[in-house]
Structures are given as structure tokens and as C-alpha cells.
Structure 1
Amino acid sequence: MFRRKIKLLKRFKEISSTLSKLGFYNVYDYFKILFGIEVEPGAKPKRIREALEKLGPSFIKLGQILSTRPDIVPVYIIDELIKLQDKVAPVDFEIIQQTLNRNYGEQLYEIFSYIDPAPLASASISQVHVGYLKTGEKVAVKVKRPNLEEIIQLDSELMLMVVDFLERHFKNVKDFNLKGVIHQFRRTTLQEADFSIEAQNIKIFQENFRDYPGFKVPKCFYDISTSEVLITEFIEGTKISEVQTLKKKGLDPEDIAVRLTDAYFKMVFIDGVYHADPHPGNLFVLDDGTIVAIDFGMIAFLSKTKKKYFFDYIIAVTTLDLNLAIQFYEGFNMFTPRTDFGNFEADLQFFLEKYHNKRLDEINLREMIEDIIGFIRENHLKLPTDIAYLGKAALNLEGTVRRLHPTFNPTERLKNFVGISTKDYIKEKLSEVRDAAELSFYFIFKLEHIYRLLIRERVTFQIIFKDLEELQKFYKIQTGKIAFAIIFVGLLISSALFYTAGKDTAGLVLLVISVFIGLISFYKVFRF
């Protein structure tokens, strides 16, 4: 316990020192600006990003998660967080060698003929080296950084301490659910650090793109990969962001943009599982024009139910159906106690009307996403992880294809996939209707069969509802009581009217009768 406190104190000093060098004189001020709790006019988003990069692996990953949360982070900060470079100082190869020895032991030299000590890339989770198998194949050897789990646990504990402090001093901080963000960061980062999960992710995408032309998922060597070391084929390609190099090789950037967009929309709208971080560093183009995606540590799923909500929302926009659009937000459980439903409906109506008459090729994807971000923040909606990852991925995709071809609009290709998915959705609904109809006809047929059987066998039966008979008896009694009461009141009023008119005899007779009936009514009431 004491050692852990010493480690926490030491790490806190490192963080404070790094922030002060960048002009943030304490952790408290930095968090206020990052989450928009207090806006400092001189605070540049670039400094926020640089601070996260310098603070190390945990904070880079935290920044990447925050870039998907427009509900709690200001838009001008998100625009900068999207640019976060997942590059950190490399680990000495001697330490990498220890990890390799721990995972392979004496088999290391039976599997590999050579591993280059110089790292090809060094990121927050892992370090990549070029290697050669004994079979002669060139591979990428992805090795987890040492003590990663301990660093993540330590940093997340410090983050929670800062959030506790903020929640005590600022009453609105709890509304951001920053603890939930930190728990999400810890969970997703630890999951991404388990390479056996990434190997399974690669297998899913390989199956989905097995017969898909122009898009490739690297081969994974499952039998020699572990939770700490991932072995995949080495990709000899050009980064998708190097547009001039692609042109020199005779490749058409617009064609690449179209095929990348199609592949991504296939992931989302057909497969229901997509690469959650398609930034340019994770995309390469082979000499024959084939696009290759790497790094499948961060993927996201879109279930059939959630895809249905998206299709319903598209229908709501095209038909201006406010109630159907509201079901989308209810389905994803996005409302919070701070949401003003009247303002929400008005803003949603405005959003639907803005995009109602636009063709897909007229919609600017970035502008639409920014409109949605503004809508979410202004109405204090909660952003589900599914939509957050999809929004960030869409922004990354839009930025990548615009770099390839500035006039290309990815929404032009959306109609092909929404059309296919909507057809499947309609088929599913028709199938449900057909099943319901078949069930109804079956039920009617069975009723007819039972009826004919009863007629043929001359079966008679009697159904006695004992409780129903008692209920009928009760209501009959109550009705009688009410009738006597009405007659009593009527006669009493008539008697008063006769007296008022000067007809004392008639009034007296009616009064006697009404008193008699009243006594009978009271007797019946108290009897039962």
C-alpha cells in the first residue's frame, strides 16, 4: 500500500511538471479547460493535444476516447484531439527481447530467423519490429510495451482522484460523468492491450472480406501469436495519405477514395462490425491498388437492433416523421435529467427539416456530424459508445477521402449500402408480418376444426365463471342502492317544490313517501 502511494505521488509530480512546462500550472486547471468547465481565452487546443502526447500512453488513449465524446468535450478541443499522434519514445530492444523470451522461450530461434532491433513504429500500446520467419516470410512483430497494465491502472487511479476533487469543487462536474469516461478508458485500453483479442478481430474481418475485391486484411499467424506478441504479414505498401506517391505509381486517388468508402460502409451497414480507428496511419495501398487496413485492436459492433434504429432515423428524415426520429434517441437511451424535452423537439424538427430535401450527394458528412454534435451538447444528451465510435470513424474516413480527392463526397456512396441494408430490413419486417399472418390463419383453422369436432361429436359443455357471477351480483346490489337513492332525492326535491307552490297536502304526502324510501335505502346500505 505504501509503495503504491509513493508511485502515485511520483507519477503525479511527473504529470504536474509536464503540464507546467506547457503553460498549465496545475492538473486542476488543465482538466477544467479540457472538459470546458471553464473556458480560458488563451488556451489553444494544440497545447491540450501536445500535453496529452507528452504525458504518455495512458493519456494518449484517454485523448482518443475523449475525441469520440462531443457530449462532454467542446468541439474546438475535439477537432484537435482527432489529430492525436499515437507515437511515443521507443523501448530499448533488450526489454523487447525479454518479452519475446518470456513468450517463446527456446522456441524463439526456431520460429524466427531474424528480428530487426530497430523499431518500425512505437505507439502507446505496442512497438513494432520487422521480422523474418524460418519459412522465409517477412512479418510484422507487434510487442506489448512493458508494465503497460500497471501504468494504465496507476494513471486511471490518478485521473479518478482529480475527478473526485473537481466534483467536490464544481457542482456541474458530476453531470459529465467523467468517472464513467475514465472507467471506459481503462476497460478499452486493457482490452486493446490483449493481442489475443486483436487476433480474433482480424479473423472476423478476414472472413467478412474473404471474397471482396480491392480490400485486404493482413494474414495473422495465430499459432505463434500470444496475448503479448502479435505476428502478422508485413505490408509492403504506400501510406494512403501519400497522395503524390500514389499518383506516381499510376494509381487513381479518387478510385481509392471510392473503394475505401465502399469497404467502410460495408463494414457498418452490412457486416455490423467496423474498424473503429480508420486514420491514415492504419491504411496502406499496394502497387496493384488494393487497400490494406492494419491495427484491429479497436473495433466496434452495430447489432441488428441498432442498425434498425439507424434505418428508422433515415426514414424519419426523408418523411419528416418527428415521432420516429425521437424513437432513435429513446432506443439508444440518450436522454438525461438535464434534457429539456420541449427544446429537444424543436431542435430535432429543425434538424429534420434542414436535411429533409437534400439528396445524399448534397450532404456534407462533416457538416452533418458537427450539427449532430451541437444538437447533442445543447440538449444535454448522453452519447452511447456505439454512436461515439461511429462518429469518430466517420470523421476520420471523411478526412482521409478528402485528402485523396478534395471534391469527393463519401455520402454519394451511402445510397448503395443504405439501399441494400434497407431491403434486408424490409424483408425481415415482411417475414415477421408473414409469420404473424400464418399464425393467424393457423389459429382460425384450428378454431374451425374444433367447432366442427364439437358439432360432429355433439359435445356440450358449460363454462362457469364463479368470480364473474359474484361480481355481477355485487354490481346488481349497488345499482339497486343507487336507484333508491335517486328516487329518494327526487321525491325530496318534489316535496320541497310543492310546499313552495303552496300545495301543502301534496308536499306532505311526497315528504312521507321520500322519508320511507330513504329509510329503506339506509337499511339496504347497512345490511350489505
Structure 2
Amino acid sequence: MFRSLTILKRLMSVALTLARYDVLFLFEQLGIAPVIVFMARLVPVGRVRGIKQMRPGQRLARALHDLGPTAIKLGQALSTRPDVMGDEIADDLTELQDRLPPFSGKEARRIIEEDLGGPVEKFFSEFDDEAVAAASIAQVHFAKTIEGEEVAVKVLRPNIRRDFKADFHLMSTIAQWVERARPDLMRLKLVESVQALEDTVRFEMDLRFEAAAADEMRENFKDDDYFYIPEVKWPYCAKRVMVLERIHGLNVDEIDELNKAGHNPNDILEKASMAFFNMVFRDGFFHADLHPGNMFVLNDGRLAAVDFGITGRLDHATQRHLGELLLSFITRDYKRAAEVHFEAGWVPMNQSVELFTQAARSIAEPIMGLPQNEISMARLLAQLFEVTEYFAMETQPQLIQLQKTMLIAEGVGRNLNPNVNMWFLAEPFIERWMRDNLGPQARVKAVATETRDTLLRLPRIIANIEERLDDIGKNGLKLDTGKRPGVRHTGFNWMGWVIALGLAAALIVEYLD
């Protein structure tokens, strides 16, 4: 009862903020809390000045910013969901900046001392109390270690875990209400999406995980001379503190300064494009927040990235499907684009491939018919996800996260050179990747690898089946691979087949490598 009252109180507070910006349509469209909406309209909260000149999405972005860190994260997630919010509102939400006033340097010092177990002076010979960047989760200070290394110190906001926990409980409750009120929205997996967002933020709130992500990405690019990831200073990292090597450079959106420094924007764009494709298709591990504030051009011309709180992963099967999907759109092979959706299991098999092909064409042709520099693969995917409602396609969180990243990357590319398209710039890389990963030999290798992995898991699967049968059977039922009196065994038993086929698959993979 007390928890329900707390949720209703918080929900009313949210509704009043939405009312001030005239964006209660967010609740109305989702069909939730009509009584709360009615009451919020009756309360004379006063409208924010200037909202009549704003689009609905801009007003919503302002409201979410005022509601604090969790709402900012929610708004950023909704910016990738035109299927929920509509194209215009989702587009406006992409401008929602994750910036908040910094907390005091004194508070930052306290957190550092608690987590590292000693006074700040024990670890840093210099520490700048003024934050250089402040976001919803943490803020950054420049410092020098006692060894004299220049570093960037990221410190978690005080009490942030408690605040996020309460807010996510509210969001989860609202998502459940939406799915009950609007069964037609079940396919959007709103409850699962909130849980995925909560899991992402929970990882962000343990800076050791972010340090590990930075370290992994640095390892992935150790042999590449065009893209740099700063080194993690592990002795200075803890749950609420992360220390990275400080880098010196210009933001990728400072075009005039880049030109003055002798950097070629086309060269930078090519490096950014190559880095993005290597993350997605080579490594299956990508930086999911590559906005201009997180990308720098170093003095020697290399591109560098910071802030690894939000990352994404794609398994090899998804990489292959995504690669084929992009290639099919670039070549306007819409039948193949449709088939990929069915092969990947994104669209139920009882749907029509021909109708899906028609839908893909209707979305892609207006975009692919534009001049090359105006083609946006991110917007194409966003519209494709929107139309898939007609085909009962379930939400694919990993693809939505990637689509958001693609949208940001396209924005960076257009700012560097509005006349060049990053997708076509990286065409040689795409073709090489396709040849290596989608050709006949690659397909045989993929099947062999999957077969080997499945067969190696088979004994455990069978063991689990045996245990279940023993539990539910009255007299017990157990599969026994040994010989029994009166039972004739011919050829291999099942374990022999598993070993033989597993070795064969392993040999095929080794040969193809």
C-alpha cells in the first residue's frame, strides 16, 4: 500500500511537470493513468514561457531534462523509438543533452577518498576541483597522478544509485500499465526495454565496468594507427571512480579549429567511418555514444574516443544479418532485405515475404533515390522498424541501440563534410567484409562453428533432460549410454556420434582458418 502511494505521488509529480510543458500527450497516447492526467490538467501549474513556439518533441525534451537524470536517459532511449514516439518527436529527442550542473569538488574529493581508501593527495599530486564535464551519471575532473601522469578522473554523482532505483521502479510500473492498457503495444517489449535500460544504467553506475569496456576497446584497436583509446589507470579505479589517461586534441565538431591545425576533415571522416565499421563488424563491440563531445582529433591526426559508459554488442549471426541487410539496401535488392528478416527470426515465418519486400521497397526508395550525400541508413532502419508493426516483428534492442549509434555517427560525418556519405566512403571496407564473412567459404565456416558449438553443448543438454525426467517421472527415466544385458548395441552410441561430429566440425573450422 505504501509503495503504491509512493508511485502515485511520484507519477503525479511527473504529470505536473509534463503539464507545465504541455506534453501530457505522452500519457494520453499510451493510454495510462487517465485520472492522473485529468488532475494534472486541473492544477494551475503555469506554462513555461515560450513553449508555444516549440514543437511537441522539443517541449518533451525540456520536460524530461527538468525531471532529472533518469528522465534524461529515458528521453535518449525514446529518441531511438520512432515506432513509439513518431518520427518528428523521436528526432527532437535526439537533441536532449545529457548535461547537468556539476556537484562540488569537495564532494568529488570525498567520494574519491572513500573509494580509494586515502586522502586525494596520496594518489594525485594535482586535482582540479572544477569539473570539466558533468552529466547525469558522473562528472570529470583533470588531475595528475603522484607519478606525474596527466589523467582524467571520472567520479559518480552522490546518491545516484538510490535516485535511479526509485525512478526505474516507477518506469517499470508504467510500462506494465501500458502493456495492460494497450495489448497492441506488447510487440514493442516496453517492460523488457525498461529492464534493458535499467541494466545499462546499472553498469554505468559501476565505473569498473566502464573501465573494462575502455580497456577491451583499447585492446581491439591496439594494431590500428588511426584510432586511439586512452589507457585505463587501473590502480586508481574503483566502483565510483575511474581514471583514464588524459588526451589532448580538438573535438570533431570544431571544424574551423581543425582546419587551422592542418587537419583534413575528409581524412577525419574516413577514419571515423573505418573505426565505426571495425567496431560493429570486426569486433562486435561498439561505442554506443559517439557524439562530438566524446570524439577528439589528436595533434598527430589520429581520432580518439572517450566515455565508455554506453556500449553495445552484436553476436556473429547478427553481424552477418546486419551486413547482408545493409548491402541489400545499398544495392536495392529488397527481396534479399526481406529474406534476411525472416532468416534472422526478426519476422515470424507466417508472414508474407512478398508483402515485406513491398514494404521494404516503399521505405527505401524515397531514401535511396536521394543524392548520395543525403542518404541516411540510420533513418532507413528507423522507418523499417516502424513499419514492421504490420508484420508482428518484435523489438530488437541490440539493433535499436545500433541504429541510434548510426544516427549519431551520420551527424558527425555530415558536420565534417556535408557532401560525403560515410556509408559509401567505407564501401571498400564493406565489400571486403562481405567477401570474407558472407562468401561460400565463410558460410561453411559459420555452419561448422555453430554445429561444433551445439554438439559440444549436447552432453550437458542431455544430462539436463535426464535430471528433469528423473524429477517428473514416477519411476524415474534415465538415458544410459552403457550396455545393458539383453540390449543389442550396433555401431556408435550417441556419445560416439557427438565426439565424432564435434571433431569433424572442429577440423573444418581449423582448416578454414
TM-score between the two structures when normalised by the length of structure 2 = 0.74
Does 2:381 align with 1:372?
yes
> Which aligned pairs between 1:79-478 and structure 2 lie closer than 5 A?
79-106=91-118, 108-170=120-182, 172-313=184-325, 316=328, 324-335=336-347, 343-350=355-362, 362=372, 364-366=374-376, 368-380=377-389, 381-425=393-437, 426=439, 428-429=441-442, 432=445
In 2, Cα distance between equivalents of 1:254 and 1:314? 23
Deviation at 1:243, TM superposition (A): 0.8
Which deviations, in whole Å up to 9, do the C-alpha atoms of 1:458-513 show, x marking residues without a partner? xxxxxx9xxxxxxxxxxxxxxxxxxxxxxxxxxxxxxxxxxxxxxxxxxxxxxxxx
In 2, Cα distance between equivalents of 1:353 and 1:286? 39
Which deviations, in whole Å up to 9, do the C-alpha atoms of 1:170-228 show, x marking residues without a partner? 45444433222211211111112221111111111111211212321111101221121
Deviation at 1:169, TM superposition (A): 4.5
Equivalent residue in structure 1 for 2:87, among 43, 68, 75: 75
Q: What amino acid sits opposite 1:369 in the alignment?
A: A
Deviation at 1:149, TM superposition (A): 1.9
Deviation at 1:269, TM superposition (A): 2.2
Which deviations, in whole Å up to 9, do the C-alpha atoms of 1:421-442 show, x marking residues without a partner? 1232237437649989xxxxxx
Q: What amino acid sits opposite 1:264 in the alignment?
A: F
Which deviations, in whole Å up to 9, do the C-alpha atoms of 1:47-100 show, x marking residues without a partner? 111111111111111122222233323111121122221101222233323311
Query: Residues 334 and 364 from structure 1, CA distance in 2 versus in 1: closer, same or farther, beyond 3 angstroms?
Result: farther
- 8 Å contact kept, 2:279–2:285: yes
Q: What amino acid sits opposite 2:61 in the alignment?
A: R
Residue of structure 2 equivalent to 1:526? none
Query: Residues 89 and 270 from structure 1, CA distance in 2 versus in 1: closer, same or farther, beyond 3 angstroms?
Result: same
In 1, Cα distance between equivalents of 2:232 and 2:435? 34
Query: Residues 84 and 288 from structure 1, CA distance in 2 versus in 1: closer, same or farther, beyond 3 angstroms?
Result: same
> How many aligned residue pairs are there?
426
- 8 Å contact kept, 1:340–1:379: no
Q: What amino acid sits opposite 2:116 in the alignment?
A: Y
In 2, Cα distance between equivalents of 1:115 and 1:433? 51
In 1, Cα distance between equivalents of 2:431 and 2:326? 11
- 8 Å contact kept, 2:337–2:357: no
Q: What amino acid sits opposite 1:93 in the alignment?
A: G
List runs of 5+ in structure 2 lacking aligned partners: 33-51, 450-487, 489-513
In 2, Cα distance between equivalents of 1:54 and 1:339? 43
Deviation at 1:369, TM superposition (A): 3.2
Deviation at 1:103, TM superposition (A): 0.6
Which deviations, in whole Å up to 9, do the C-alpha atoms of 1:101-135 show, x marking residues without a partner? 21112264221122211111110111111111111
Deviation at 1:152, TM superposition (A): 1.6
Query: Residues 163 and 340 from structure 1, CA distance in 2 versus in 1: closer, same or farther, beyond 3 angstroms?
Result: farther
Between 281-290 and 122-131, the greater mean CA deviation after superposition: 281-290
Deviation at 1:291, TM superposition (A): 1.3
Between 70-79 and 240-249, the greater mean CA deviation after superposition: 70-79
Query: Residues 109 and 8 from structure 1, CA distance in 2 versus in 1: closer, same or farther, beyond 3 angstroms?
Result: farther
Q: What amino acid sits opposite 1:21 in the alignment?
A: R
Query: Residues 144 and 352 from structure 1, CA distance in 2 versus in 1: closer, same or farther, beyond 3 angstroms?
Result: closer
- 8 Å contact kept, 1:125–1:193: yes
In 2, Cα distance between equivalents of 1:84 and 1:53? 7
In 2, Cα distance between equivalents of 1:120 and 1:364? 35
In 2, Cα distance between equivalents of 1:53 and 1:406? 30
Query: Residues 30 and 70 from structure 1, CA distance in 2 versus in 1: closer, same or farther, beyond 3 angstroms?
Result: closer
In 2, Cα distance between equivalents of 1:332 and 1:210? 32
Which deviations, in whole Å up to 9, do the C-alpha atoms of 1:394-437 show, x marking residues without a partner? 1111111111111111122222211221232237437649989x
Give SS of 1:71's match.
helix
Instruction: Tell me which structure has the larger Cα radius of gyration.
Output: 1
Query: Residues 24 and 328 from structure 1, CA distance in 2 versus in 1: closer, same or farther, beyond 3 angstroms?
Result: same
Give SS of 2:129's match.
coil
Percent of aligned pairs with the same amino acid: 29
Q: What is the aligned-residue RMSD (CA, Å)?
A: 3.4
> Which aligned pairs between 1:54-69 and structure 2 lie closer than 5 A?
54-69=66-81
Does 2:17 align with 1:18?
yes
Give SS of 2:154's match.
strand
- 8 Å contact kept, 1:239–1:281: yes
Deviation at 1:350, TM superposition (A): 4.9
Residue of structure 1 equivalent to 2:479? none
In 2, Cα distance between equivalents of 1:250 and 1:313? 38
- 8 Å contact kept, 1:130–1:139: yes
List runs of 5+ in structure 1 lacking aligned partners: 34-40, 437-463, 465-528
Which deviations, in whole Å up to 9, do the C-alpha atoms of 1:354-399 show, x marking residues without a partner? 799x89x947441x43233223222313331222122111111111
Deviation at 1:310, TM superposition (A): 2.8
Give SS of 2:286's match.
strand
Give SS of 1:85's match.
coil
In 2, Cα distance between equivalents of 1:343 and 1:258? 37
TM-score between the two structures when normalised by the length of structure 1 = 0.72
In 2, Cα distance between equivalents of 1:355 and 1:25? 33
Q: What amino acid sits opposite 2:77 in the alignment?
A: I
Q: What amino acid sits opposite 1:414 in the alignment?
A: A
